[in-house]
Amino acid sequence: MAKGKIKKRSWAEPFKIKVVEPIKMLNKQQREKAAKDAGYNTFLLKSEHVYIDLLTDSGTNAMSDNQWAGMMLGDEAYAGSKNFYNLEKNVKKYYSMPYFVPTHQGRAAEHMISKILIKPGDYIPGNMYFTTTRLHQELAGATFVDVIVDEAHIPSSKAPFKGNIDLQKLDKLVNEVGAKKIPYVSMAGPVNMAGGQPFSMQNLRDVRDYCQKQKIKLWFDATRATENAYFIKERENGYENKTIAQILKEMCSHFEGIWVSAKKDLMVNIGGFLATRNKKVFEEARNMVVVYEGLHTYGGLAGRDMEAMARGIEEMVQYDNIRARIGQIEYFGNRLEKFNIPFVKPIGGHAIFLDAKKFLPHIPQSEFPAQTLAAEIYIDSGVRGMERGVVSAGRDPETGDHRYPKLELVRLTFPRRVYTQAHIDVTVESIVEVFEQRKKIKGLKMVYEPKYLRFFQGRFERL
């Protein structure tokens, strides 16, 4: 090829920037102090002390001009807001579920479905746990059992569908406790705790067939369903020419119902919902939502929030949008790869997960390597990520000991449509700098531990 000739065209974001929010970086001394004041927990940092915020993509997305315009059309009636009907129409159309109840965010829907379907003593198999999902299942009296494929626990495995359910593990559980003790299988994709790894449509069909045979329901945490649909399109035979909307619809057709945190795929700042094809479950949820959230036509949301969600659904299924979203993560991962930084492969859908066990091999898991690494990256550059390891895993409800997960990760998550490639470049430089200094880094001890979801409010000191 001639010198200077372009080999392959790049993609670029399918939008331009209309409004900006200034950000600034504190100096090193101020960052040291901010980290100490926050108990070395990135959840306890003040947002204004953060330069590039990769804590989460939950509710931190940039809405489009079309979504903002919709906010002005909020119908704030107590009952029967027209925005509710707009949202209901799009939930039916894109997720193909006939019944729908809005909630103020995803965990409110998790709370309701766990209470409706679970009896104390039940078991809930799932493709790895998600923090709030598992907690609501446990609070309803169930024991969560991880039935994800083994590769999901191996950061270096490049299997394309590490979010798949292992049918043998599922069958083993059914044989041990009996299908009657399993009200539903809880499936999510891409699986956050496994590094944003998708399940395949083939695996979903197999799980559905198995569940039908055993008379076990199948429910879907569809919070990141469009990201999963994108990976199916990219990686699974027979889907390359299908649209994201077609794949999403096919995925949803295999479930009895779904719960969704709209703060992710739908690119809004707040919102969630429950949707199902089971009328009885719907009626119970509609009764319950009045107690916990608000009337069934607003579920804890303002009319304007529901309008932004309705419009977000139409945008999330656009191919260019989801390709740019996942393309950013790929760019980030490919840059880190050049410097041999250890992270979970293949590159996931919403975040890069640094492998803290490999990054800081001299720090034992009891001294919280991922918590330590997240704090060190913040101190280096003001970039905020979060721990996904022993702190997030919490304690075993029976023994009271720490749960020591195989994966000890720092998650760096990109909000949708918020940061540019230059933000990614300075983040990479910071991680490389910390990697070069890694031998000098010491672990942490926990000095305050809340009872539930301790990663949010736990405090630490340097050893």
Ligand X SMILES: *Cc1c(COP(=O)(O)O)cnc(C)c1O
Q: Which residues are catalytic?
A: 78, 130-131, 221, 264, 388, 455
Instruction: Give the binding-site size for ligand X (rule: CB under 6 A).
Output: 16
Distance CA 363, CA 365 (A): 7
By beta-carbon proximity to ligand X, the closer residue of 341 and 352 is 352
Looking at the DSSP bridge assignments, the partners of residue 52 are 383
By beta-carbon proximity to ligand X, the closer residue of 376 and 387 is 387
CB of 269 to ligand X, least distance (A): 11
By beta-carbon proximity to ligand X, the closer residue of 148 and 360 is 148
CB of 106 to ligand X, least distance (A): 2
By beta-carbon proximity to ligand X, the closer residue of 161 and 359 is 161
CB of 366 to ligand X, least distance (A): 28
Binds ligand X by CB under 6 A, chosen from 41, 58, 86, 365? 58
Distances (CA, A) of 97 to 107, 199, 257, 276, 365: 19, 21, 7, 5, 43
CB of 424 to ligand X, least distance (A): 22
Check if the beta carbon of residue 67 is closer than 8 Å to that of residue 268. yes
Provide the mask over 154-193, with x wherever binding to ligand X is found by CB under 6 A and - wherever it is not: ----------------------------------x---x-
By beta-carbon proximity to ligand X, the closer residue of 223 and 381 is 223
By beta-carbon proximity to ligand X, the closer residue of 49 and 107 is 107
By beta-carbon proximity to ligand X, the closer residue of 114 and 133 is 133
Binds ligand X by CB under 6 A, chosen from 86, 137, 223, 392? 223
221 touching ligand X, by CB under 6 A:
yes
CB of 248 to ligand X, least distance (A): 15
With CB under 6 A as the contact rule, which of the stretches 17-25, 150-158, 217-225, 227-235 interacts with ligand X? 217-225
Site for ligand X in 77-136 (CB under 6 A): 105-107, 130, 132-133
64 touching ligand X, by CB under 6 A:
no
Instruction: Identify the CA nearest to 19 among candidates 65, 50, 51, 53.
Output: 65
Q: How many CB atoms neighbour CB 448 within 10 A?
A: 12
195 touching ligand X, by CB under 6 A:
no
Antiparallel, parallel or unpaired: β 143-146 and 123-126: parallel
- Closest residue by beta carbon to ligand X: 106
CB of 104 to ligand X, least distance (A): 8
The residue behind tokens 């029967």 is 80
Provide the mask over 255-274, with x wherever binding to ligand X is found by CB under 6 A and - wherever it is not: ------x-xx-------x--
Give residues in contact with ligand X (CB under 6 A).
58, 105-107, 130, 132-133, 188, 192, 221, 223-224, 261, 263-264, 272
